[in-house]
Structure 1
Amino acid sequence: MTNSPLTPGLAAARLPADAIAAGFSDHEPPLDPHEAAVAADRCYFCYDAPCVDACPTGIDIPLFIRQIATDTPEAAAATILSSNILGGMCARVCPTETLCEGACVRETAEGKPVEIGRLQRYATDVAMTAPQPFARAAATGKHVAVVGAGPAGLACAHRLAMHGHDVTVYEARPKPGGLNEFGIAAYKATDAFAQREVDWLLPIGGITMECGKALGRDVTLTQLQDDFDAVFLGVGLGGVNDPGLGAANGVLRDAVDFIAELRQTEDLTSLPVGRDVVVIGGGMTAVDAAVQSRLLGAENVTIVYRRGQEAMSASDHEQDHATGAGVRIRTNATPVAIHTGDQGAEIEFAYTEDGPGGLQKLDETFRLRADQVLSAIGQRLHAMPDGLVVEGGKIAVTGPGRSTVAGIWAGGDCTAEGEDLTVSAVAQGRDAAEDMHTYLMGGKNG
């Protein structure tokens, strides 16, 4: 599904350049030192803190907040990064309202949690002005292939390098970062933060980055097994689900492609957007695509989801952000056709309802005008590596990312354990690296 800038109904520069720049500026500015001290002072420093249990990477949150409170943000950053090497990005994009902050005792007692995410950003931003606080161990002579330079692959590669292993990372795209670089809203990670974070962590040494090399096209899993001592697969979900609406004369486009193009476009005033935009889906990708369409100047943006609003995977916080940006959310409707003609395009939806047999499509339909339709109905593996067991269309793993083939690990969204969260992918990459280290050094594995 592709769009052409010449498609009727699309236009660039729907807003003045300064308005677009303002819309895509940092949507939650960083804390200054005084604000950080005040925010840290609200923490109870709980024993057996529920916020730690709610963090997929298990960061010692009370400890790093205490370190901020004692004006040692460098120490706080080291605490964070020892558990989550991409802690800077996670501070920007994690759904903290459903993870650490959602579990905060202050949230339970007062409805206002400690601002854990912003405090984490404060500490990691300080750390990134200096070299990373980690050193590479003595070389082990072992060489590992990591496929995919997204959050899982980067976390795995860095932890393996810390243990002294040599790592070659194969990335299909022209630069590393994965979801962080290509798949999140631009206003969440401004000033090329994803690339700066990668540039900050790679100097640990021992990591070779091979961009523009895709598994199945440029390298095969068999080759990697023959050439390396172990393999980690963090390939993400490169394929997209098809809504079954056809090309529709260029009206229909994948939301992930739209977001990726937006993230890589230097001049946002050159990016065409529809006057009337409809986004199909109910997750974070749908929200990011819809909000950014509004920020580019789309006048009417509607998210349409097939079930009730309570079933949307986008958090309540993100849904509120979307509606606050002027996005309309309609639920219990599924697309059935796109109609194009001299007067423009419309997308037709059928109403739905949940019944004993699951989701039912009703006979009654409605139409929405749409110069541009963005499909965000989920992603899938682009191609399944040969020889691995599949579970629900993803790579089956056990424990810390062990695949069904000895010597091959996997983590992140490409696995059945994936959660479409940067922080979960980091945890899985890190844990796989620790298990791989045990295996590579001859320890008991499995």
Structure 2
Amino acid sequence: MSSDAFTPGIVPGRLDETDYEAQFSDLHPPLDPHEALVAADRCYFCHDAPCITACPTDIDIPLFIRQIATGTPDAAAKTILGQNIMGGMCARVCPTEQLCEEACVREAAEGKPVLIGQLQRYATDHLQGQGVHPFSRAETTGKTVAVVGAGPAGLSCAHRLAMLGHDVVVYDAQPKAGGLNEYGIATYKTVQGFAQSEVNWLLEIGGIRIEYERALGREETLDGLRDAYDAVFLGMGLGGVNALHAEGSEKEGVLDAVDFISELRQAEDLAQVPVGRDVVVIGGGMTAIDAAVQAKLLGALNVTLVYRRGRDRMNASVFEQDLAARKGVRLVTHAVPGAIIGNGAVREIEFDYVDDRMKPTGQTLRLAADQVFRAIGQTLEGEGLPDLEGGKIAVKDRGRTSVTGVWAGGDCASGGDDLTVTAVAEGRDAAMDIHTALTSAAG
């Protein structure tokens, strides 16, 4: 149990034991076969479908929906997984309302898109539920590749490399694989241990070994990996958290939102996860929304999410913002933290209101708070890394870094948008470029 359980006001068990399962049930219950057929029938099967262009992994969406409509969901799953090996997770967490579904012709014509995300989940769940792995390894190439990070980018890269016949060793700092899929996504989005079941299914391709609790800069060095392997892919994500520059930010009860989410994800009993009565979350991205909603679901009486700009500038989608509001989270915008007040532990937090140019208006807001979560962005950690750009590893082409034989992708690399689906695409594309480099060298 977290030490926060001993902080006054931050306690476990705010709900009746029987309420937790209902509170943290599946956000989008899966479609049944009839519902899937009805949803698939709404697709126009556009020839030059804008939904494909909007998908970071370039899935042929009309094709897989047609395959569902014709009663072949396993073929649909293979269409999806051929482009996005983590299509099951992406179907659950991808902001489809901002990507493929926003581009859907039905959305433009009727304001009601085809349920692309739910149909993708239907197909991938159908295949993976049978324990079937639709891909097989090519003949071994004799080449070995080190992948740092067992998150979406790293696993996507590892799977594609293994499928092409290379032997892959994945190094991860955590005791479980999955990265943010396992540790950093709201519990109600990935119920019933799906993240680990997807990892186990992905590893059935063979040729991939995972070394747990081995981090770059701690047990491993980039130079050491370069010496030991034919190529290296860096996909370790962002391990640090931006500091909260406000007076009193060191007080007890001021925590990182990512740690709170991780604790929930790993909890065997949600009733044992402590939460405050008055919770304030600072930030405007998906992590902030996930932390705020889950604090409310755990039984916090008042949960307020505070963001420094307007709602139109929040990284969290409109759907996620509306979800938070529906769950009872109060959204406050154009406010920055000024001081955290309390005798040892946080009791209140004061914000300064700002205008669109981030200039103080002279007005303030003071909120009662016994628990404050920082969700103001993460930072790259590590030594001896390739050249950086904007605090991340600089990449060009298909993830090539400034160091020969080293590629990078996902949240730790520049140019991305911190989405699971984008990380998967970057890992896949880097794997293809690594394969080209290794086979060209061999030839």
Which TM-score band (shorter chain)?
over 0.9
Read off the aligned partner of 1:203 and give its amino acid letter. E
Counterpart of 2:431?
Answer: 433
Distance 1:130 1:276 in 2: 44
Distance 1:281 1:379 in 2: 11
Distance 1:11 1:300 in 2: 14
Counterpart of 1:109?
Answer: 109
Asked whether the 8 Å contact 1:248–1:340 carries over to 2, the reply is no
Secondary structure of 1:440 counterpart: helix
Alignment equivalent of 2:389, drawn from 388, 391, 400: 391
Asked whether the 8 Å contact 2:221–2:384 carries over to 1, the reply is no
Deviations 1:313-351 (A, max 9, x none): 111000000000000000000001111149970001011
Counterpart of 1:273?
Answer: 275
Distance 2:362 2:36 in 1: 55
Counterpart of 1:360?
Answer: 359
Read off the aligned partner of 2:267 and give its amino acid letter. T
Distance 1:342 1:191 in 2: 39
4+ runs deviating over 2 angstroms? 244-249, 341-344, 361-364
Shift of 1:244: 2.2
Counterpart of 2:418?
Answer: 420
Alignment equivalent of 1:292, drawn from 286, 294, 301: 294
Deviations 1:158-198 (A, max 9, x none): 00000000000000011100010000100000000000000
Asked whether the 8 Å contact 1:147–1:233 carries over to 2, the reply is yes
Equivalent positions of 1:36-435 (< 5 A) are: 36-128=36-128, 129-245=130-246, 246-341=248-343, 345-355=347-357, 359-383=358-382, 385-386=383-384, 388-435=386-433
Asked whether the 8 Å contact 2:276–2:371 carries over to 1, the reply is yes
Shift of 1:361: 2.8
Distance 2:387 2:11 in 1: 46
Secondary structure of 1:138 counterpart: coil
Secondary structure of 2:6 counterpart: coil
Shift of 1:388: 1.2
Read off the aligned partner of 1:175 and give its amino acid letter. K
Asked whether the 8 Å contact 2:385–2:393 carries over to 1, the reply is no
Asked whether the 8 Å contact 1:231–1:408 carries over to 2, the reply is yes
Q: Please identify, of 262-271 and 336-345, the stretch whose mean Cα deviation from structure 2 is larger.
A: 336-345
Distance 2:46 2:378 in 1: 39
Shift of 1:121: 0.2
Secondary structure of 2:410 counterpart: coil
Distance 1:167 1:34 in 2: 41
Asked whether the 8 Å contact 1:150–1:179 carries over to 2, the reply is yes
Q: 1:381 to 1:343 in 2, by over 3 A?
A: closer
Read off the aligned partner of 2:53 and give its amino acid letter. D
Distance 2:31 2:341 in 1: 48
Shift of 1:308: 1.0
Q: 1:344 to 1:314 in 2, by over 3 A?
A: closer
Deviations 1:36-71 (A, max 9, x none): 000000000001100000000000000000000000
Read off the aligned partner of 1:180 and give its amino acid letter. N
Counterpart of 1:4?
Answer: 4
Shift of 1:272: 0.5
Q: Does 1:14 align with 2:8?
A: no
RMSD: 1.5
Distance 2:49 2:3 in 1: 48
TM-score with structure 1 length normalisation? 0.96
Deviations 1:91-115 (A, max 9, x none): 0000000000000000000000000
Distance 2:267 2:279 in 1: 20
Secondary structure of 2:402 counterpart: coil
Distance 1:443 1:78 in 2: 31
Distance 1:38 1:79 in 2: 20
Q: Unpaired segments of 5 or more residues in structure 1?
A: none
Asked whether the 8 Å contact 2:94–2:420 carries over to 1, the reply is yes
Distance 1:418 1:13 in 2: 39
Distance 1:353 1:243 in 2: 20
Shift of 1:289: 0.2
Q: Unpaired segments of 5 or more residues in structure 2?
A: none
Shift of 1:399: 1.2
Shift of 1:11: 1.1
Read off the aligned partner of 1:105 and give its amino acid letter. V
Q: 1:443 to 1:107 in 2, by over 3 A?
A: farther
Asked whether the 8 Å contact 2:4–2:11 carries over to 1, the reply is no
Read off the aligned partner of 1:118 and give its amino acid letter. Q
Read off the aligned partner of 1:173 and give its amino acid letter. Q
- Quick one: percent identity of the two aligned structures? 64
Secondary structure of 2:102 counterpart: helix
Secondary structure of 1:4 counterpart: helix
Shift of 1:4: 2.3
Distance 2:344 2:173 in 1: 40
Shift of 1:5: 1.4
Read off the aligned partner of 1:442 and give its amino acid letter. S
Q: 1:235 to 1:118 in 2, by over 3 A?
A: same
Shift of 1:363: 3.2
